Amino acid sequence: MTLAIAVVALVATVLTVTELARRLDVSAPLLLTIVGVGASFLPFVPPLVVSPELVLVGLLPPLLYAASVKTSLVDLGANKRNIGMLSVGLVAFTAIGVGLALWWLFDVPLPLGIAVGGVVAPPDAVAATAVGRRIGLPRRIVTVLEGESLFNDATALVLVRLGILALGSALSVGAVVGQVAWTSIAGVGIGLVVAQVLTWVRRRVTDPISGTAISFLAPWLAYLPAEELHASGVLAVVVAGVLLGHRAPVIQSATSRVADRINWATAQFILENGVFLLIGLQAKGIIERITATPAGVSRALLMSLVVLAAVVVLRPLWVIPLRFLMGDPQDRRDQLRSSVIVSWAGMRGVVTLAAAFTLPVGVPDRDAFVLAALVVVAGTLLVQGSSLPWVARRLDVHGPDPREDVLQTATVMRSAVTAGLRELDRLAAPTEPPLPDGLVDQLRTMAERRVHAVWEQLGAPSGTERPDGSGGAMVETPSESYRRARTAMLQAERTEVLRLRDLGTIDHEVLAAVLASLDVEESVVTSVSERQGALRERLVLTPESSKGDCLHLREAPVGIEPVTPDGCADCLRDGTTWVHLRLCLTCGNVGCCDSSTGRHATSHHHATAHPVMRSIEPGEGWRWCYIDELLG
């Protein structure tokens, strides 16, 4: 019963503190650590000692898997050089630097100092990416931080093991190289084998509940065999997770993927936030043990501050020069800004504290090193985590404009819908079994509406002033009308289903299935509205990564004088209402988009074959080639 009460109290505290952090717009890991430290000194909170086995075997594998399964294999490949230099080179550089500082200032044996350096070297994936996403860092920086945090744990734990082994016996260079090579190669190999086996299994298990249960086993299926063979369990979990996440759209059903995302999001939320609370709750016990040692607290605190200063200073000493040596000489300013951000995003977390507890009990100053690990975790979260948003603002480093995401989404959706329509044409061919009358038109309309719904997010929302300055309000787009009407319908449908439920005449499972289907549809409808509300009011151009290259885009001008600057020429003539405005870059005709009733921009292209148009909505400067269906 005592254990159950403690678990409930921990989870309740995590929920309360993370919600408070969200409302205060502060880092949840930082606030949880502070709350844990404070709670450890309360008289009614029992002493807490977290064993390294609990963290390394119980918490680390699922946390790594939850992060890796959402990581893009393509992005990792595109940034593999930067990730490798951080996850291997920087960890070794930090471990050696901390070891030398402890050896020189406190006469700590150099192998032990390097082991302690390995303990504090790896930044935490949870803390870094949580802060990075919250303040809106560029995606490439977040990808590098994620990749570094996933792979650096393996390097750090290997250094800790080697440092501890070197205390008892001399290690040759060959032995070190052989140990590192076996740990890495075997860890990656086991991860590949596990990913291949689970790929075969998941293709054949179609039940979503069974599939989710298999996914919960996956971290330990990779981690435990690797550790048993003295390989890197961290690398095995990460490799298996990244590959399974990459293959999920092919090997799993949509229902299974939805179930996995929901269940893993819940587990990850509780575990990753609970870890930081557990870190803080150990503060009192660590300090009490140090107080009982002959050296006392003063030497331990001084040692902790030296280690904290070393990990903060060593990171930019490695990152900034390396980025200048490896980067493009024509892009020095952006390299410096991104290097400073990466240098300052070195928050430590769960692996640091877990690795500290793996230090042998008989090691001199063990409790002081454990305190140093706690100080590094809390200090980097406090100093770097709380100031990273300010640094990003000062350097004018920010993520992509949400409307750039909409442009990329529209391009992907257009390509996907075009492929779907081609398949629909094939199914409607005379050689196939005939489709019911009207079904082809219905499916085609639904497909086009999905594309239009994305494009409509770009223009000014309904209720705002028209771009022609006439003072009238922008008309409600068809997708906005659909969402408004469908939301009202869903509420009425749910009310009726609940009325039938209360009568007790319908089976519960039937009602639950109907309510679940209504919830899925409503979540899709509301998520579109929420995304549209986050769009910014500044000029949005086509992102470089999405720019197409075709003859028509190359030959088209950036802009041209509109023939009718006050609105769509055909709508003004016919008295109809447009939604968004498009400018022909060949003749200057102004037409309305496909979401409008007349679809005059597309009609103009069909009549004249003029290939490229440009949006002339306020704050937009992107172009579109009708012929090649490319953004430019």
pLDDT digits (tens, 9 = 90+) for 526-561: 765 555 554 545 556 666 666 777 888 888 888 888
The lowest-confidence range among 77-91, 123-137, 557-571, 617-631 is 123-137
**Of 527 and 309, more confident:** 309
pLDDT classification of 261: cutoffs 50, 70, 90: confident
User: What pLDDT was estimated at residue 609?
Assistant: 92
CATH for the 2-394 domain, from 2.40.10.220, 3.40.50.10090, 1.20.1530.20, 1.20.1430.10 = 1.20.1530.20
pLDDT of residue 470: 44
Cα–Cα distance measured from residue 154 to residue 68, given in angstroms and rounded to the nearest whole number: 14
More confident residue, 96 or 79: 96
Of all helices (H) and strands (E), which one includes residue 229? none
Higher pLDDT, 496 or 568: 568
| 3-state DSSP of 290-339 | HHCCCCHHHHHHHHHHHHHHHHHHHHHHHHHHHHHHHCCHHHHHHHHHHH
pLDDT of 469: 46
Model pLDDT, residue 216: 92
Does residue 120 or residue 477 have the better pLDDT? 120
Average pLDDT over residues 68-82: 83
pLDDT score of 400: 64
Residue 359 has what DSSP assignment? S
Assess whether pLDDT exceeds 50 at residue 472: no
Mean pLDDT of 187-202: 94
pLDDT in tens, 174-186: 767 777 788 889 9
> Rounded mean pLDDT of 170-176?
66
pLDDT surpassing 80 at residue 48: no
User: Which percentage of the chain shows pLDDT scores above 90?
Assistant: 16
**Distance separating alpha carbons of residues 184 and 545, to the nearest angstrom:** 33
Q: Does residue 467 register a pLDDT over 60? A: no
Higher-pLDDT residue of 540 and 388 is 388
> Of residues 417 and 219, which shows the higher confidence score?
219
Question: For 544-631, which CATH superfamily applies?
Answer: Zinc/RING finger domain, C3HC4 (zinc finger) (3.30.40.10)
Strands (E), 430-584: 581-584
- pLDDT classification of 32: cutoffs 50, 70, 90: confident
Q: Report pLDDT for 539.
A: 56
Predicted confidence band of residue 189 (pLDDT cuts 50, 70, 90): very high
Answer for the pair 14, 35: CB distance below 8 angstroms, yes or no: no
The structural domains of the chain, with segments of one domain joined by +, span 2-394, 544-631
How many Cα atoms occupy the beta-carbon half-sphere of 218 within 13 Å?
A: 36
- 360: helix, coil or strand? coil
Instruction: Give the position of tokens 């298996």.
Output: 240
Taking the CB of residue 161, how many other CB atoms lie within 10 A of it? Answer: 17
CA-CA-CA-CA dihedral for 486, 534, 135, 246, to nearest 10 = 50
Mean pLDDT value of segment 280-300:
79
Q: Which residue has the higher pLDDT, 390 or 350?
A: 390
Please say if the pLDDT value at position 461 is more than 60.
no
Ramachandran assignment for 379, one of left (phi > 0), alpha (psi -120 to 50 degrees), beta (any other): alpha
Q: Cβ contacts of residue 197 below 8 Å, gap of 6+?
A: none
For residues 491 and 502, the answer to whether their CB atoms sit within 8 Å is no
- The arithmetic mean of pLDDT across residues 272-282, rounded, is 82
Q: Which residue has the higher pLDDT, 362 or 263?
A: 263
User: For residue 571, which amino acid is it?
Assistant: C
**Would you say the pTM of this structure is higher than 0.85?**
no
Predicted confidence (pLDDT) per residue in 199-236, tens digit: 999 998 888 888 889 999 999 999 999 989 988 888 99
Better pLDDT: 49 or 74 = 74
* pLDDT greater at residue 31 or residue 222: 222
Query: Which residues lie closer than 8 Å to 3 by C-beta, 6 or more apart?
Result: none
CA distance 141 to 299: 38
List 620's β-bridge partners, or say none: 540
| CA–CA distance, 15 with 8 (Å, rounded to integer) | 11
Residue 150 burial class via C-beta count within 10 angstroms: exposed 0-12, middle 13-18, buried 19 and up: buried
Answer positive or negative: Cα dihedral of 627, 628, 629, 631. negative
Tell me how far apart the alpha carbons of residues 515 and 513 are, in angstroms, rounded to a whole number: 6
Determine the pLDDT at residue 201.
Answer: 93
Per-residue pLDDT at 134 exceeds 80: no
Write down the mean pLDDT value for the chain.
Answer: 80
Average pLDDT of 79-94? 88
| Measured distance CA(96)–CA(155) in Å, rounded | 13
Which of 387, 386, 385 is CA-nearest to residue 348?
A: 385
The answer on pLDDT for 465 being more than 60 is no
Instruction: Indicate whether 63 pLDDT > 80.
Output: yes
Residue 471, pLDDT > 60, answer no
